[in-house]
């Protein structure tokens, strides 16, 4: 049997090393953690997406007493973009999270379902997503969802 290896490349940056527009996107994701609705998990996730027209939209997790109804921060931001600017490409997404001790020190990483939604965003607009995973200690910068989600499901 043949063995194949898939490797992932990403950058580890201090917040000062980010471009001004990336820093602003991260700040927006951080501010979204403050308004997330997470009365069950108390884990507050914020996301922000930047569109090609310069618009920045926020998202945050929305929980529900019926847990399966809940929505992650990333998809809340991506779907807001799709619902309000269907013809404008999403080029970047930033994610941050806080728990009872404050903002997480290590970068927060999106769940598999949100990764699949990012795969769809890339194929919809035909360009890779610039992904910023924030932690107070450092931020991971990832260019293209395939680094986070290799061998993703796709019908085309």
With a CB cutoff of 8 Å and minimum separation 6, the contacts of 57 are: 48, 49, 51, 77, 80, 81, 84
Q: Give the span between the Cα atoms of 26 and 3, in whole angstroms.
A: 38
**25 CB neighbour count, 10 Å cutoff:** 25
> What are the residue numbers of the active site?
74
Nearest alpha-carbon partner for 108 in 23, 26, 20, 35: 26
Kindly indicate which of the ranges 20-28, 35-43, 86-94, 142-150 contains the residues binding ligand THU, using the contact rule CB under 6 A.
35-43
User: In terms of CB distance, is 18 or 38 closer to ligand THU?
Assistant: 38
Would you count residue 70 as binding ligand THU (CB under 6 A)? Answer: yes
Lookup: tokens for 34:
């403050």
Out of 26, 29, 73, 90, the only residue in the binding site for ligand THU (CB under 6 A) is 73
Would you count residue 131 as binding ligand THU (CB under 6 A)? Answer: no
Would you count residue 74 as binding ligand THU (CB under 6 A)? Answer: yes
Q: Which chain residues interact with ligand THU by CB under 6 A?
A: 38, 41, 43, 45, 61, 63, 70, 72-74, 110-111, 114
């Amino acid at each position: 049997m043949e063995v194949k290896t898939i490797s992932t490349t990403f950058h580890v940056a201090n917040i000062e090393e980010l471009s001004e527009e990336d820093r602003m996107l991260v700040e927006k994701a951080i501010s979204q953690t403050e308004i997330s609705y997470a009365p069950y998990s108390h884990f507050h996730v914020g996301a922000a997406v930047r569109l090609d027209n310069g618009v920045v939209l926020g998202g945050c997790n929305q929980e529900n007493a019926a847990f399966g109804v809940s929505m992650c921060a990333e998809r809340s931001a991506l779907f807001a973009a799709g619902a309000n600017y269907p013809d404008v490409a999403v080029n970047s997404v930033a994610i941050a999270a806080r728990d009872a001790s404050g903002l997480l020190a290590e970068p927060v990483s999106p769940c598999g379902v949100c990764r699949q939604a990012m795969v769809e965003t890339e194929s919809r607009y035909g360009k890779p997503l610039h992904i910023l995973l924030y932690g107070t200690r450092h931020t991971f910068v990832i260019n293209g969802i395939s680094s986070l989600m290799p061998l993703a499901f796709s019908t085309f």
